[in-house]
Homo-oligomer: A and B are copies of this chain.
């Protein structure tokens, strides 16, 4: 059985998304700055079907994070949904060929048929809670890792429940002043930094969750 991993880009003031989020601007005003480090990398661009890109230490981190992942779990908002029932024609934020290229289990209260898309991504909609979604992802991943893809609340929930084995934080030196906090209260969790990668604009820290 593989690890359950996750990764988040976080601002210096602890936010994983900026203020004024909307359906058109899900990362909030200025929130894209948290992810700019990844956009230029060869690895990220290849996952998104784009050519070129740079072979940087950031690219190596993206590659390491995704290489062993056999399935993903994500929250409904990260797939691209509001709080109501699904519009059956809506296929999420991620376009016709999403970058996951593996089964993705989406946490939701509204049942929906599974949604296979081009490139190997198939979204499955799970209505019986985070542990059930993780169990299904583990079964799909086999010996590979399961990655909790986000958003911040979903990752925090798995971390608080003791279900994560490791967590990459990409510490981005911006100060957002508000938005979605990575944490929203004290959390009794023991994290040990086990790998640190210094990149030009961001610091990548992989934590091991100690039980």
- Residues in chain A within 8 A of chain B (CB atoms): 10, 12-14, 169, 171, 173-178, 181-193, 195-196, 198-203, 205, 207
Contacts and interface: CB of A to CB of B under 8 A. Distances in A.
A187 B196 contact: no
Residue in A12, A174, A198 with the greatest tally of chain B CB atoms within 10 Å: A12
Q: Is the interface of A mostly helix, strand, loop or mixed?
A: loop
B191 A187 contact: no
A194 B65 CA distance: 24
B193 A186 contact: no
A109 to B, nearest CB: 28
B183 A193 contact: no
Contacts of A193: 173, 198-203
B183 A175 contact: yes
Contacts of A13: 14, 181-183
Contacts of A202: 193
A29 to B, nearest CB: 10
Contacts of A189: 175
Contacts of A10: 12
Nearest to A197: B196
A40 to B, nearest CB: 16
Residue in A175, A189, A192, A201 with the greatest tally of chain B CB atoms within 10 Å: A175
A4 to B, nearest CB: 18
A150 B196 CA distance: 27
Contacts of A175: 183, 186-189
Contacts of A186: 175-178
A13 B187 CA distance: 10
A59 to B, nearest CB: 17
A8 B136 CA distance: 43
Contacts of A205: 171, 203
Given A175-B183, A177-B184, A177-B187, 7 more contacts: A12-B169, A13-B182, A175-B187, A176-B186, A178-B185, A193-B199, A193-B203
